[in-house]
């Protein structure tokens, strides 16, 4: 359904098709936005910044209501990234919008050429449940900075957050600029049936294929931020304290429900036992040293719904059934959807937990001795969204990064590359298409238009009729100016 329909739009067609009416309004309005200056676009972003700051408490309450997300995590992972994105755009947008002059090639001597960045038009943003504000408003910042209209479809799995997203947008933007639609899959299907100019989707590879297929019917461009099993390597030279601390934080933040969380860890056999001990220590330090302490810890999130809780407990049971050992954690409580931070060792490759993205607080630790075999195991799977390497050996770091394709990487850290405004964030193949954040997000929502001005070129000398002289000039051009 349409968020706050009375505020957003007076429907002029049957109530079951408000999406089409708002889309048509945005399509009619989009040409006006093409002409907006950097200062006008930044004024629109300032409105979003003000409502984010004013609604900080409401955002924290909504995230807590939907899946028990602690206040500090909301601030760090939901509010800060969007404010950072807005402030980064404030500093850089005028430069991003300027035409880029390119040097002529030999064949184009006498011409002047530029790349102009123009808005794609009417854009659809389909955001996920795990970081509902960050992954709705972050792409919106890029869409507005590039001069587009946008419709946001937040996830129905976090209803308090989705409702608040709709209310916040209704406060600051008319529906012909930005609108929000809540609802289940049928709403997304109706939206995807419309001929958007660009679709930005964050979610699973399986749904990403559906989104891409729907966009292809209209030849719409897409940005797909997907996921996968992001592997982590800890070799025998690594600082084990640093590795364990950073991996525990990256894995168990948001209860593991993070697309770039370390999915599983390969640890050199010579340091594996010590690494596992360090992981146990940091879990106890961050979340409590007993299941009871972890369950009562206000800094530990919950699984989003019963379906995902049951999926994760089934993965845990299957792994144990295949011979994996739980070295810490393992406790679950269905009524509160609590799963303790859990570390598994001796996990066989045929276990289901090694076949699908975990997306929860279960961490398989795999011992290795043969680096080549370990790299072959990683490369046998679809390309991941992230790859993390903990090592002091520069040659080995370079070897792993060269041999394994991934959307992004961190060395001796994990997850935080998402927060770097000057880095592209995105996947590759199964883990995504295109990039987001900063300049890369601006480009994702822009068409790079080639503009050539003829000043004193001699290309007219190659036009028909193809006399002997013209043919000779064409041959010389092909030989010396190609």
For residue 2, is pLDDT > 60? no
- Kindly give the pairing relationship between strand 386-390 and strand 231-234: parallel
Instruction: Write down the mean pLDDT value for the chain.
Output: 95
Q: Percent of the chain beyond pLDDT 70?
A: 97
* Domain 5-226+435-448 falls under CATH 3.40.50.300: no
Q: Is 448 a catalytic residue?
A: no
**Residues 73, 64: Cα–Cα separation, whole Å:** 10
Q: Is the pTM here over 0.75, yes or no?
A: yes
Q: What is the rounded distance in angstroms from the CA atom of residue 260 to the CA atom of residue 426?
A: 10
Quote the pLDDT of residue 16. 54
Per-residue CA distances from 150 to 143, 214, 273 (Å): 7, 17, 51
Residue 5 clears pLDDT 50, i.e. is over it:
no
Find the farthest-apart pair of alpha carbons in the chain and give their distance in angstroms, rounded. Answer: 91
Indicate which residue of 19, 182, 225, 357 is catalytic: 225
User: What is the DSSP secondary-structure string of 110-164?
Assistant: TEEEEEEEEE--EEEEE--SSSTTHHHHHHHHHHHHTT-EEEEE--TTSHHHHHH
Whole-number pLDDT of residue 17:
85
Q: Which residue has the higher pLDDT, 377 or 8?
A: 377
Terminal alpha carbon distance of the chain: 57
Average pLDDT for residues 24-37, to the nearest whole number? Answer: 97
* Helices 159-172, 56-67: crossing angle, 10 deg rounding: 160
Q: For residue 105, what are its two tokens?
A: 């090639």
| SS3 at position 196 | coil
Catalytically annotated residue among 123, 259, 272, 414: 259
φ/ψ of 316, rounded to 5, equals: -65, -50
- Indicate if 259 belongs to the active site: yes
**107 with 482: CB under 8 angstroms?**
yes
pLDDT of 392 > 70? The answer is: yes
CA–CA dist 475, 111 (Å, integer):
21
Domain boundaries, the chain: 5-226+435-448, 231-426
Is 60 exceeded by the pLDDT of residue 1? no
CATH 3.30.1330.40 fits 231-426, yes or no: no
pLDDT digits (tens, 9 = 90+) for 431-447: 999 999 999 999 999 99
Residue 308 in tokens: 């995902």
pLDDT tier, 10 (very low <50, low <70, confident <90, very high otherwise)? very low
Q: Is the pLDDT of residue 15 over 80?
A: no
Reference 123, options 224, 28, 30, 41; nearest CA is: 30
* Number of neighbours of residue 153 by Cβ within 10 angstroms: 23
Classify 463 as helix, strand or coil.
coil
**Is the pLDDT score of 482 beyond 50?**
yes
Q: Is the pLDDT of residue 14 over 90?
A: no
One-character DSSP codes across 205-271:
HHHHHHHHHHHHTTT-EEEEE-----EEEE-TTS-HHHHHHHHHHHHHGGGG--TTS--EEEEETTT
Place of tokens 């001069």: 147
Tens of pLDDT, residue by residue over 91-140, are 999 999 999 999 999 999 999 999 999 999 999 999 999 999 999 999 99
Q: What count of other Cβ atoms lies within 10 Å of the Cβ of residue 379?
A: 12
pLDDT at 12: 35
Mean pLDDT over 51-77 rounds to: 97
């Amino acid at each position: 359904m349409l968020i706050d329909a009375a505020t957003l739009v007076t429907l002029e067609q049957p109530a079951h098709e408000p999406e089409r009416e708002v889309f048509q309004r945005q399509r009619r309005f989009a040409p006006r936005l093409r002409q907006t200056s950097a200062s006008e676009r930044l004024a629109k972003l300032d409105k979003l910044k003000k409502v984010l700051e004013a609604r900080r408490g409401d955002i924290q309450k909504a995230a807590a209501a939907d899946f028990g997300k602690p206040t500090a995590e909301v601030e760090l992972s939901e509010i800060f990234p969007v404010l950072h994105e807005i402030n980064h755009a404030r500093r850089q947008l005028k430069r991003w919008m300027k035409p880029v002059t390119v040097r002529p090639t030999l064949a184009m001597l006498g011409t002047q050429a530029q790349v102009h960045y123009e808005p794609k038009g009417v854009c659809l943003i389909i955001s996920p449940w795990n970081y509902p504000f960050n992954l709705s408003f972050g792409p919106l910042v890029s869409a507005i900075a590039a001069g587009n209209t946008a419709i946001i479809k937040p996830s129905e799995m976090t209803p308090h957050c989705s409702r608040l997203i709709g209310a916040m947008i209704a406060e600051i933007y008319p529906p012909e600029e930005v609108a929000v639609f809540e609802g289940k899959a049928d709403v997304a299907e109706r939206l995807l049936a419309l001929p958007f100019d660009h679709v930005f989707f964050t979610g699973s590879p399986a749904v990403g294929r559906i989104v891409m297929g729907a966009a292809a019917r209209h030849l719409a461009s897409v940005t797909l931020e997907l996921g996968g099993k992001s592997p982590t390597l800890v070799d025998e030279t690594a600082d084990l304290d640093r590795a364990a601390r950073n991996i525990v934080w990256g894995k168990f933040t948001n209860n593991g429900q993070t697309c770039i969380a370390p999915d599983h860890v390969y640890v050199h056999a010579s340091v594996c036992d010590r690494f596992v001990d360090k992981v146990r220590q940091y879990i106890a330090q961050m979340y409590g040293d007993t299941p009871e302490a972890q369950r009562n810890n206000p800094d530990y999130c919950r699984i989003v719904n019963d379906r995902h809780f049951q999926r994760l407990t089934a993965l845990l049971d299957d792994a144990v059934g295949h011979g994996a050992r739980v070295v810490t954690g393992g406790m679950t409580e269905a009524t509160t959807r609590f799963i303790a931070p859990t570390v598994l060792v001796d996990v066989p490759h045929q276990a289901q937990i090694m076949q699908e993205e975990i997306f929860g607080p279960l961490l398989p630790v795999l011992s290795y001795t043969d680096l080549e075999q370990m790299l072959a195991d990683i490369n046998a799977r679809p390309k991941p969204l992230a790859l993390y390497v903990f090592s002091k050996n520069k040659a080995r770091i370079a070897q792993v990064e060269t041999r394994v394709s991934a959307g992004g990487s961190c060395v001796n850290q994990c997850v935080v590359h998402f927060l770097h405004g000057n880095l592209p964030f995105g996947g590759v193949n199964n883990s995504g298409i295109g990039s987001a954040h900063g300049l890369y997000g601006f480009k994702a929502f822009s068409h790079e238009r080639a503009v050539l001005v003829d000043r004193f070129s001699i290309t007219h000398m190659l036009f028909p009729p193809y006399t002997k002289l013209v043919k000779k000039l064409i041959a010389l051009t092909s030989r010396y100016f190609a």
